[in-house]
Amino acid sequence: MNSTLKRITLFLGLLIFGCGGNETQKEEKGSVKLKKQNTEVKTPDKPNVLASATIDLKNKGVGPVKSLVLPAEIDQEMVTQGKDVFTKMCTACHREDKKFIGPPPTGITERRTPEWIMNMILDPEGMTRNDPLARALLIEFNGSPMANQGLTEEDARAVLEYFRTLK
Ligand code: HEC
């Protein structure tokens, strides 16, 4: 009788111990789920399209350039100047046609308005704060920000002209 009682107590003890173990596992699984949810909140509006590949030809962004109409003809002199500025000030982080620290500018004039591009070059901090697409870009690039290189508006415009030739 005494030994049967002992066995039952042992059995119950093991049962409780076992359940306890399971509960911890469940909790762990729960916290993994929570982490996943947080990541989902961070993704941009259209999770299937990367911010860098998003085409938005309406958004002018936020910054010093409110309106800019590009003439049909590309100005070759400006292109030369723009390429020079790009090589000196931008190639630390951008390669013409492949992803580097930042996205490649090839085809950018088919994805963004001239104003948005100019504002991104001239005031990336303001853009990241106030423009949803710029914010999504920052997230896509794991929080490494576009640098303000202190370009004059003229130099930024020349870089934009150079970007028009990258297709
Ligand atoms: C220190 C690194 C760094 C430098 C230098 C830099 N950029 Fe960037 N740039 C980035 C990163 C990172 C992104 C993407 C993340 C973001 O926008 O916050 C970006 C984004 C951009 C975008 C938006 C691209 C897109 O696909 O929408 C443009 C335009 C741009 N940069 C132009 C330039 C120009 C022009 C220069 C030189 C005057 C320059 N950048 C210098 C890091 C840099």
Atom of ligand 1 nearest to the CA of 156: 35
Mutate to test the pocket of ligand 1, among 84, 146, 160 (most ligand atoms within 8 A of CB): 146
Domain CATH number, residue 125: 1.10.760.10
157 vs 163: CA distance, rounded Å: 10
The closest of 96, 103, 81, 73 to 152, measured between CA atoms, is 81
Whether 147 and 124 have beta carbons less than 8 Å apart is answered as: yes
- Residues 6, 26: Cα–Cα separation, whole Å: 30
Total residue length of the chain: 167
Residues 38 and 55 grouped into a single domain: no
| Together in a domain, 32 and 95 | no
List the domain range (segments joined by +) for residue 80: 51-164
Is residue 30 domain-shared with residue 67, that is, in the same domain? no
**pLDDT 10s per residue in the chain (167 long)?**
566 666 655 555 454 554 444 444 444 444 444 444 444 444 455 457 999 999 999 999 999 999 999 999 999 999 999 999 999 999 999 999 999 999 999 999 999 999 999 999 999 999 999 999 999 999 999 999 999 999 999 999 999 999 999 99
Are residues 102 and 32 part of one domain? no
Distance (Å, whole) CA 99 – CA 104? 5
Whether residue 89 is found in the same domain as residue 16: no
Dist. CA 46 → ligand 1 center (Å): 21
Q: Are residues 73 and 145 in the same domain?
A: yes
Among 161, 152, 167, 153, which residue's Cα sits nearest to residue 83?
161
Residues 146 and 68 in one domain: yes
Same domain, 117 and 63: yes
Let me know: does 101 contact 146? Beta carbons within 8 Å.
Answer: no
